[in-house]
Structure 1
Amino acid sequence: MSASSFFRLVLLASIWGGSFLFTRIAANTFGPAFLIEFRVGFALISLFVVSLYLKKRLAFAPHKKHFFTLGLLNTALPFTLFAYAAQTLNASTLSILNSTAAIWGAIIAFFWHKSRLTRTGGVGLLIGIIGVGILVGIDGARIGAHSIPAIIAGIMAAFCYGLATNYTKTAPSIESFDNAHGSMWAATLWMIPLLFFMPMRGQPTPIEWTSVVLLGVVCTGYAYLLFFRLVTDEGAASALSVTFLIPMFGILWGYLFLDEPIGLNTIAGTGLILSGTMMVTGFNPRALFHAKQGT
């Protein structure tokens, strides 16, 4: 992997790790529905402006079923579940739960696409489950029984990402940028009905509004562009390795800006989850430096 691509990879991980920080800051005031509607709305505006600049016309109508499916599974539903969980859980826990998406993806692929799970993958799956147990078990005991629904919501959000990944394997062949742009239109529409049942809880502060704008423009719109550039330059496998770096930044930003504690269970749980995920997916960190333009 080239030096510039590696820089983009780390930058993308830091941005996506920051999304859990911003979600945590704004979730209790905006509520899950309004927070995510603003997030995908700002992301939509950003991608629409980019599409105008690049003169990319989105063919939404011919692929509306696909965009609505992708917008629900990959954006509206997991974003809302994480926003709900963020009302209780800290940013570091959210980012670590997010990293289990690859494990869920492998499990779903086993049943959906009959993909074989190797012995190493099976061991990795067990290790990952133990890691989640250590993380959420101790965190749940510390926070209280009311944290259980939030923990389940975070796990189900990661499950949605795994489901979306498997869906795209059988979905129409559409350019990555159009997938992002079209799914944001769909996600924005998906969120509208929820606004009537999950109202805002208070008057947002300037910091909370800033967090929401950053969530949409930077953590969603700009992050997609970075990700697509990595896919183009280095391939999907190398680009998806960002999954393993996100928890590091989620924990770091939570510690620096929200004074979130880093307990032994956080370190142990993170290590086990990431190790298990690498075993399940067959990811080798050395592959980062042996891409098609390896150094």
Structure 2
Amino acid sequence: MRKTYVLSFFIYVISLLPFWAVYVLSDILFVVLYYVVSYRKKVVKENLRGAFPEKTEKERMKIARQFYRFLPDLIVEAIKMRSISAESVKRRMAIQNPEELERHFAAGKGIVGVTAHYGNWELGIHRLSLLTDNPVLIIYKPLRNQAVNTIYNAIRSRFNAIMVPMKQTLRKIVAYRNQPHISIFVADQTPGHADSDYFIRFLNRDTLVYTGAERIAKMTGFPVVFCHIDRIKRGHYSCTFTTLVEHPEQMANHSITDVYNQFTENIIRQKPHLWLWSHRRWKRTPKP
């Protein structure tokens, strides 16, 4: 418990720095991660080689360096979320089409929201929470480090987002099914074989994927909406909502999962450096 308090206080103090100062820290962190400790460079290179076999080694190295330049910004921006004001959140993430959510809410529906580890998905939690008065449920995979898990859940829920551990998803969504709400699934995480047995072709590789968002959508009939968070410039983002499936109950099994993963891949290919390439995405392989 003491360790949690110390770490939380340290994050809070750093978060009080102005943005220009945290970006100075980011510049230093880039040098450390890229040149000094070579943070997960082998993983990043392997992931990029598998995803873009058509590119030259020089082109893949350029993407890798751009990713390592973006990653420290993502880290310091996540820390800044600890004390950032609501006004600053709105100023730094523009919502392109809020009416896409409002039309579903106006129809009295819940929304199954899907997104990816792309752009600043953490800031997206704050922005979505400030966009609507309807409940915002964030479905998350608990971290092994309990102290970090507790701290970041507290940060993510500052503007009333409701943090829902993955294994409690069904129970929580059923509790809200009779009122407009949105539940957000970060759909590009790596499941264990006990959690899923469905593989797709994603970025040129056989990829084990979660199917929970599809199961919830088909059970409830809620539309599936993708939240695309793009980076405009340093510290500034945009969010665009795209309804991928209006009537999930009419879709064939696995087709919803296929649709939103293909949509994710198309976005990644546009600006690949904004995806989390240091994640060991392909550590599961199909069983013989």
Per chain length, whose mean CA-contact separation is higher, i.e. which structure has more relative contact order (CA < 8 Å, sep 6+)? 1
Judge same fold: TM > 0.5, yes or no. Answer: no
TM-score (norm 2): 0.28
Q: Kindly indicate which of the two structures has a greater share of residues assigned to strand.
A: 2
Q: Kindly indicate which of the two structures has a greater share of residues assigned to helix.
A: 1
